Structure 1
Amino acid sequence: MGVLIGCQNLAKSMSHKILFQDLNLAIEDGEKLGIIGPNGAGKSTFLKILKGLEVPDNGTIAARKGLRLAFITQEPQFSMQKTLDEVLTDAGEKEGLDHDTALIESHKLLSRLGFLDPMQTVGTLSGGWRKRLAIAEALVGNPDLVLFDEPTNHLDLRSVIWLEEFLKQASFAWVLVSHDRYFLDRTAERILEIHPAYPGRWHVEEGGYSDFIVKKEAYLYDLQVKEATLANKLRREEEWLVRQPKARGTKARYRVDEAMRMKGEMQDLKQRLNTTSANLDFQASGRKSKQLLQLKGVTKSYGDRVLFQDLDFVIAPRMTLGILGDNGTGKSTLLKIMGGIEPATDGTVQTIQNLEIVYFDQAKEQLQPDWTLKRALSEGHDAVVFRDRSIHVASWARRFQFKAEQLDTPVSFLSGGEKARVMISRLMQRKADVLLLDEPNNDLDIDTLEILEDSLEDFPGAIVLVSHDRYLLDRLCTHFLGLGTGGKITAFADYSQWERSLLDEGKAAKKDKATTGTKGKGAKAGKLSYNEQREYEKMEESIMHAEEALAVAQTEAEDPSIASQTQKLMAASAKLQKAQENMDRLYARWAELETKVKGG
């Protein structure tokens, strides 16, 4: 395996804050690297340095000659009026392809990534499908390395699962920044963390996210032991220094110097260990009722479109209900109906008397852009009341990782993660029986997410949760409701059961597509010869079988048991290459036949 890009002694600071220094990393062919770290640690900055969009303060970047590198940002930008075909054909021509070749590549990629209509306009795509389009656009140039910045942000779970499978089978190397712990565990084979806990503020380990966390916990434990040992030694040295007469101080100068050195090391250890994130804790009202909220026959529709219908459900204390479904199935709407923010089309929502509901708004619409941070945190007062205790607003701000000098900053200047922390701070000041949380994890780093989970796990009231974070759902939820198309609602025992249902649904849809494609293409393919028409009719089915063969070959080639058996490894690699070539040949042939059908 060759090195695609190498970093040597990289250093970067921002506004006098060191992001990382002495960073040494080699990214090789077949790389699957996940990058984690707190918000503002420098993860996205590191990606931009790799792409050449930012310059490091020190150090060098050396890329392999002719390296083809693509960068997919958090929010890909497209012209909303263009068709998918136009987007990818334009991208192909920018890479030096002639128009016809770019068109064939466009059709191959759109089909490979699951797009059904090349003439669909970008403006009609959901966020998840736009992310797929951004990936297709990047792949037109046949990149060696692709950089992803938060690729799962704002995707529904179905799209995240698709992206996982796509990246696991990718022929290109990739590096991605993500806060999605399940996603990292299922895709990454190496983890880089940019974090103040490490010397140089970075550390890299082989293995997935779970492996990394085990090693990190051991590292932090060793740091704590080292801190305790050093504290004891320093205390003895300070006691000795206090006992010595001043006149003899020069005779033991080395002990004074050693004590000063230990003080410096102690301060460094304290800073590295003091990296806990926001301190989050919700107040419960203490209500003892066995039933808080009941939905009876609840239906919601907009015109002829039914989101869900005839929903009967009871919300009780110590229950955490996870609401699952694709984007647009009505998850946020259901939360608003429970909170009395939006009416149901039919049915009733019954609550106990004086029920206290706290609602976390995904769009953070409750924050006004012209408010100052102080106004948002404390309604402009000098103190907030939390658990019947008055806390100065500066202290309250520090609890959520804000500095006192930021209190006059307008809300419009805050990042997504900072706005999320402000929203949580406002909710924590209210006593609640029920927490309705719509994507509370959006824009939060992993450290803050873990503290949020701890707090919610200890909440004695009821929680209704909409989230794309599977780790959060799996850890907290006691019940699950899945919202499907046509108003269908299904109860699930756990998240894994819902994911399996999605995969089964996808396999069934693929078979239906192959069947209907075979039946419907004869009339469309009038410009083909008899043999070509028969080939065209069977093409989707052939591609489906080829995809399955490619997946099997990929699994065999990545089997760790043959890693040291040269002959078996070479045979598996040859099989994988042959499967990939067959797949590429089928896509190229399909695009060629479609061009004929359309009169090209």
Structure 2
Amino acid sequence: MLINCQSISKAFGAQQLFNDISLTFSSGERLGLIGPNGSGKSTLLKILAGLETADSGKIIYRKGVKVSYLAQEDTFDPDLTVEKALFLAAADEADETARLGRVKRMISQVELGQGTELVANLSGGWRKRLAIARALIKNPDILLLDEPTNHLDIQGILWLEKLLSNQQFAYVVISHDRTFLENTTNRIVEMNRCYPEGFFRVNGNYSRFLVERNAFLESQQQLQEVLANKVRRETEWLSRGPKARTTKARYRIDKAHDLQSEFSDVRRRNSADKQLQIDFEATGRKTKKLVEVTAVDKSMGGRTLFSNLSFVLTPGRRLGLMGANGSGKTTLMNILAGKTAPDNGSVFFADGVRVVLFDQKREQINQEQTLRQALSQTGDTIIYQGNPIHIVGWAKRFLFQPDQLDQPVSRLSGGEQARILIARLMLQPADVLLLDEPGNDLDIPSLAMLEESLLDFPGAVVLVSHDRFFLDHVTNKILGFPGDGKTVMYDDFNQWLKGQQANESARRQQNPPRKKTAVPRTKKLTYKERLELESIEEQILTAEETLIHCRQQLTNPAVMENAEELAKWCALLQPAQDTVDRLYARWEELESQNEGQ
């Protein structure tokens, strides 16, 4: 046992997050913690990390246990280098040389170059890797991870899965990525008021959890029906005004009241599992060809994002876009939305076709507005599919409470703001839905409802997401962006992944390890060459650092949005690669010559 929680409760004001929860976390634990937004998952993790206190109950830690915590959003001094940030995090190591060695090994493990990059220059994905490294360098017995896949692209998520699979410590991970949970956990705990204990735990991965959860919820519905019949019979008996003159009669009256109380509890719990109600409105047009993309090219700052790209969007086509951050996915979405023009080629839209864009940056939301204003620009009545709906009823459909309507949007969580955008999308009749990371911050039940709605949508869907489960269930084609200016069409995510692996294998075959240059054994190193050999390793490290910096800048969102900056880093990339190649070749030549002496 590493941590034992005994009857802990937590509330914020009048909002009860969880009550009287008891959980144990043991060595070898790989626990996935899930539940609806607002169920208290992140708060529980902070309590376990010692950053929050429970209102009641006990938390017992094994003597000497080391707990490390990865927050949803990291905080770093932007002026620190990667190495310095990790050096400060490894403060438990008294010996400075050993501490530095530990830092160097961690930098290599999470693939952060040489560690001299400033934190301020890291993109979101690389900052997340740094945050993971900072948590790992403390050598925890148990690691607490709150949404660790946030900001990581697909390759980053696969890297994290592999990293966790090779670790010996226990961990608790909050995630809405169901494939990630499937691949990384051996126990699932869902926090939800629909369960008698306030949570439901299953030994096994996410697939096993779904089987047992569905069986439990079905049994609860059956129990509600049985209790309803019993309550109906006892209510009829009570309505006849029985006299409590005998012990048997008094017992039956008391039992009837207990039965009503039990029925109310079961019904309340069963109704607590509320779900988002999503139903996108289509225009109903019968056009077979909605959008046709023909031989489209697009470059930014001299870098080709994609070239000679052609495809057709028809009703029922659900196209997923896959590739690393900065590979051109969002740019293509903006071209389809008419916000950006292609350099060459054409994009044909059917007459009157309606294209609606879901923006991952949520720039469409005014943070100063109230929730009421964000949901409706026309007062307290909303027209949906030709029918009037009051704002309160509309808000409840998206799991908002009436007392939230006058709160500013800025006070709402990321998941709640995502639900606002979905509510707006539902009010816009569309032929084509462009969804850029629509699942960000949504909980698993909301993601499931979004999936079902998209599967029922009769128009075309173009989708960018790092959620593999979501992509597998929704899309019927994948357009891959390898990052070399080309694009490839795949049938599903697994085919795309195999394609990526094949590309990597082909790249290695095209660039095999260099054979050492044969140098006559009689030729000795000159004094100048010996000095060069002694210093060349340091030169290579510096050159590789420059190359990594160039690559990171090309995926930096701020650079991607600045054509001048992007052109500058594109121009620096190839010379940096050439320098590394030249230095390695020279090193091998000098080593071979030195060995021949």
Shared fold, TM over 0.5: yes
Deviation digits for residues 300-321 of structure 1 (CA, Å, limit 9, x no counterpart): 2112112111111100001100
TM-score, with structure 2 as normaliser = 0.84
Aligned to 1:231: 228
> Relative to structure 1, is the Cα distance of residues 256 and 73 closer, same or farther in structure 2, using a 3 angstrom cutoff?
same
Aligned equivalent of 1:177, options 174, 178, 182: 174
Alignment partners' CA distance in 2, 1:360 and 1:399 = 19
Alignment partners' CA distance in 2, 1:60 and 1:383 = 48
Aligned to 2:420: 422
416-425 or 19-28, which deviates more: 19-28
Aligned to 2:351: 353
Alignment partners' CA distance in 1, 2:48 and 2:78 = 29
Alignment partners' CA distance in 2, 1:6 and 1:524 = 63
Aligned equivalent of 2:121, options 120, 124, 142: 124
Aligned to 1:288: 286
Give how far 1:23 is off: 2.2
> Relative to structure 1, is the Cα distance of residues 5 and 248 closer, same or farther in structure 2, using a 3 angstrom cutoff?
closer
Determine if the alignment matches structure 1 residue 252 to structure 2 residue 249. yes
Does the 8 Å CA contact 2:244/2:253 hold for their aligned counterparts?
no
Deviation digits for residues 148-175 of structure 1 (CA, Å, limit 9, x no counterpart): 0000123111101111111111122111
> Relative to structure 1, is the Cα distance of residues 110 and 282 closer, same or farther in structure 2, using a 3 angstrom cutoff?
same
One-letter identity of the residue aligned with 1:41: S
Aligned to 1:242: 239
Alignment partners' CA distance in 2, 1:166 and 1:43 = 23
Does the 8 Å CA contact 2:274/2:399 hold for their aligned counterparts?
no
Aligned to 1:43: 41
User: 5+ residue gaps in structure 1?
Assistant: 538-600
> Relative to structure 1, is the Cα distance of residues 74 and 510 closer, same or farther in structure 2, using a 3 angstrom cutoff?
farther
141-150 or 257-266, which deviates more: 257-266
Deviation digits for residues 515-535 of structure 1 (CA, Å, limit 9, x no counterpart): 36999xx99996989xxx9xx
Aligned to 1:587: none
> Relative to structure 1, is the Cα distance of residues 508 and 8 closer, same or farther in structure 2, using a 3 angstrom cutoff?
farther
Alignment partners' CA distance in 1, 2:35 and 2:196 = 14
Aligned to 1:62: 60
Determine if the alignment matches structure 1 residue 142 to structure 2 residue 135. no
Aligned to 1:114: 111
Alignment partners' CA distance in 2, 1:251 and 1:175 = 52
Determine if the alignment matches structure 1 residue 271 to structure 2 residue 254. no
Aligned to 2:546: none
Deviation digits for residues 322-350 of structure 1 (CA, Å, limit 9, x no counterpart): 00011111211111110112222222111
Does the 8 Å CA contact 1:292/1:316 hold for their aligned counterparts?
yes
Give how far 1:25 is off: 2.1
Determine if the alignment matches structure 1 residue 317 to structure 2 residue 309. no
Aligned equivalent of 1:446, options 419, 444, 447: 444
One-letter identity of the residue aligned with 1:330: G
> Relative to structure 1, is the Cα distance of residues 328 and 337 closer, same or farther in structure 2, using a 3 angstrom cutoff?
same
Determine if the alignment matches structure 1 residue 387 to structure 2 residue 385. yes
One-letter identity of the residue aligned with 2:151: H
Give how far 1:111 is off: 1.2
Determine if the alignment matches structure 1 residue 100 to structure 2 residue 102. no
Give how far 1:459 is off: 0.6
Helix, strand or coil for the counterpart of 2:18?
strand
> Relative to structure 1, is the Cα distance of residues 513 and 37 closer, same or farther in structure 2, using a 3 angstrom cutoff?
farther
Deviation digits for residues 398-443 of structure 1 (CA, Å, limit 9, x no counterpart): 1111111211111111110011101100110111111111111110
> Relative to structure 1, is the Cα distance of residues 251 and 205 closer, same or farther in structure 2, using a 3 angstrom cutoff?
closer
Does the 8 Å CA contact 1:83/1:119 hold for their aligned counterparts?
yes
Alignment partners' CA distance in 2, 1:504 and 1:50 = 43
User: 5+ residue gaps in structure 2?
Assistant: 518-524, 542-597
> Relative to structure 1, is the Cα distance of residues 331 and 518 closer, same or farther in structure 2, using a 3 angstrom cutoff?
farther
Give how far 1:381 is off: 1.0
Alignment partners' CA distance in 2, 1:528 and 1:196 = 67
Helix, strand or coil for the counterpart of 2:57?
strand
- How do 1:476-491 residues align onto structure 2 when only pairs under 5 Å count? 476-491=474-489
One-letter identity of the residue aligned with 1:420: A
Matched length: 530
Does the 8 Å CA contact 1:321/1:463 hold for their aligned counterparts?
yes
Helix, strand or coil for the counterpart of 1:327?
coil
Does the 8 Å CA contact 1:374/1:380 hold for their aligned counterparts?
no
Does the 8 Å CA contact 1:12/1:56 hold for their aligned counterparts?
yes
Deviation digits for residues 538-582 of structure 1 (CA, Å, limit 9, x no counterpart): xxxxxxxxxxxxxxxxxxxxxxxxxxxxxxxxxxxxxxxxxxxxx
Aligned equivalent of 2:196, options 184, 195, 199: 199
Aligned to 1:187: 184
Helix, strand or coil for the counterpart of 1:367?
coil
Alignment partners' CA distance in 1, 2:185 and 2:533 = 45
Does the 8 Å CA contact 1:297/1:310 hold for their aligned counterparts?
yes
Alignment partners' CA distance in 2, 1:513 and 1:295 = 35
Does the 8 Å CA contact 2:228/2:263 hold for their aligned counterparts?
yes
Give how far 1:13 is off: 2.3
Helix, strand or coil for the counterpart of 2:484?
helix
Aligned to 2:51: 53
Helix, strand or coil for the counterpart of 1:440?
coil
Over aligned residue pairs, what C-alpha RMSD do you find? 2.7
Aligned to 2:520: none
One-letter identity of the residue aligned with 2:137: V
One-letter identity of the residue aligned with 1:105: R
> Relative to structure 1, is the Cα distance of residues 176 and 451 closer, same or farther in structure 2, using a 3 angstrom cutoff?
same
Alignment partners' CA distance in 2, 1:237 and 1:393 = 40
Does the 8 Å CA contact 2:282/2:430 hold for their aligned counterparts?
yes
Alignment partners' CA distance in 1, 2:376 and 2:122 = 40
Helix, strand or coil for the counterpart of 1:90?
helix
Aligned to 1:10: 8
Q: Identical aligned pairs, as a percentage?
A: 44
Aligned to 2:73: 75
One-letter identity of the residue aligned with 1:154: H
Give how far 1:18 is off: 2.9
> Relative to structure 1, is the Cα distance of residues 264 and 65 closer, same or farther in structure 2, using a 3 angstrom cutoff?
same
Alignment partners' CA distance in 2, 1:285 and 1:67 = 59
